[in-house]
Structure 1
Amino acid sequence: MKVNYLFTDRYGGVSKGFYESFNLALHVGDNKNNVLKNREILRRRVGEKELIFMEQIHSDKIEIVEHDKKRYICDALITDREDIALCVMVADCIPILMFDEKKGVIAAIHSGRKGTFLDIAKKCADKMVQTFGCSAQNIKAIFGPSIKSCCYEIGYEIVDIVLKKYGEKYLKDRRYLDIASINRDSLIRLGLREENIAISAICTCCSERYFSYRREKQTGRFVGVIWREER
């Protein structure tokens, strides 16, 4: 069994204006037909797999994709199906893709500040262990481009939460938050190997190659997508 994954950027699609050009979200004000065309472009890139998107709500809700279903209102998806590709949409939040090649299980996770504080990545990995018999030591996690501590300034109330819950090491200059490291350390505490966690160095707020809500407000969404297939 082989696992494939990719992270899109903002190029290669048909959307216009604020959403130029490869916006994959239907909920941000873009022309629906353009978004559907972009999704078809993505579907061809992943080998004609059916794309499964979430209606993301900044929660810790996790759904297992077993049978065909129209709506997934959640922030993490898990499956062992070969006929689909799991997608997570972002524009600063962390798109986390996880997989256990030995068990043939894949997951896509939306982890912004709220999801991070709710431990969604750790809960998703634990669900892979509890539901599918995965071993934490075999799970690999890939963090895609997201906003980094160079740009993620937070208010004093959030600073207080971080200091009380996690400690000062996740803050830069006591006002910029490093949510990727919080997620990474949470997964390591569950039992994932540090060498099995890869974190993109790209800051979406700094790089105009990616959509960024913090930088642009009205903007599109890029995706992390993961799928499995037999070798």
Structure 2
Amino acid sequence: MQTPEFDWLVPDWPAPPTVRALCTTRDGGSSLGRYAGLNLGLHVGDAAEAVQANRQRLQAAMGVRAVFLNQVHGVHSAPVDAQAPDAMEADGAITSASDVACTVMVADCLPVLLCDARGRAVAAAHAGWRGLLGSTGQGVLEVAVARMCQQTGAPAQELMAWLGPCIG
């Protein structure tokens, strides 16, 4: 990853060295007015050109393509790779590809990053109260963990999680 022209938080967790993770802040970016800074959301009323410029700057700094979801406060975690389209309806993304970033956007909800101990796969989940609860007793985190275990063959005990900033 290059040194960005904006701020990001880097998790302090025992992830394998092949796993890279970050959480952006609003600092930097092209958006103006009430969206001033690094707004990455096309769904909030910001100018689409500014959001696309922000997304391109983030991807250039990371050195990989970021897949942005259409988050619906649900439980689905979508598998992603470099060919995955943006705007898939999901609240989590999982990949074993090294050329793509699983991306979730949060305001007051909890961003959760997951990886297995060997770095074979990573996931990002958008965990709001609806997604945590789920409609069948399985929330977004249970679904993401189950999919990670299925994809890697690792037991849940070998997964690690980083909980990002949120409103408590």
Q: TM-score range by the shorter chain?
A: 0.7 to 0.9
Distance 1:103 1:135 in 2: 13
Aligned residue for 2:70, secondary structure, equals: coil
What's the TM-score once normalised by structure 2's chain length?
Answer: 0.82
Answer yes or no: is the 8 Å Cα contact 1:3–1:101 preserved in 2: no
Give the aligned partner of residue 67 of structure 2: 52
Answer yes or no: is the 8 Å Cα contact 1:2–1:101 preserved in 2: no
Give the aligned partner of residue 87 of structure 1: 103
Answer yes or no: is the 8 Å Cα contact 2:67–2:84 preserved in 1: no
Give the aligned partner of residue 133 of structure 1: 153
Answer yes or no: is the 8 Å Cα contact 1:103–1:133 preserved in 2: no
Q: Structure 1 vs Structure 2: percent identity of aligned residues?
A: 36
Answer yes or no: is the 8 Å Cα contact 2:76–2:143 preserved in 1: no
Q: CA deviation at 1:66?
A: 4.5
2:151 maps to a residue whose letter is T
Distance 1:69 1:23, change over 3 A: same
Distance 2:51 2:69 in 1: 15
- Quick check: 1:97 aligned with 2:120? no
Q: CA deviation at 1:101?
A: 4.0
Q: CA deviation at 1:69?
A: 2.9
Give the aligned partner of residue 161 of structure 1: none
In structure 1, stretches of 5+ residues that fail to align are: 149-231
Report the aligned-residue RMSD: 1.4
Distance 1:15 1:66, change over 3 A: closer
Higher-RCO chain (CA-CA 8 Å, sequence separation at least 6): 1
What's the TM-score once normalised by structure 1's chain length?
Answer: 0.61
Count residues with an aligned counterpart: 147
In structure 2, stretches of 5+ residues that fail to align are: 1-16
Give the aligned partner of residue 21 of structure 1: 37
Distance 2:117 2:157 in 1: 12
2:157 maps to a residue whose letter is Q
Q: CA deviation at 1:11?
A: 0.6
- Quick check: 1:109 aligned with 2:125? yes
Structure (1 or 2) with the greater helix fraction:
1
Alignment of 1:1-12 (within 5 A): 2-12=18-28
Aligned residue for 1:41, secondary structure, equals: helix
Answer yes or no: is the 8 Å Cα contact 1:62–1:75 preserved in 2: yes
Give the aligned partner of residue 11 of structure 2: none
- Quick check: 1:64 aligned with 2:84? no
Runs of 4+ in 1 over 3 A off after TM superposition: none
Answer yes or no: is the 8 Å Cα contact 1:15–1:35 preserved in 2: yes
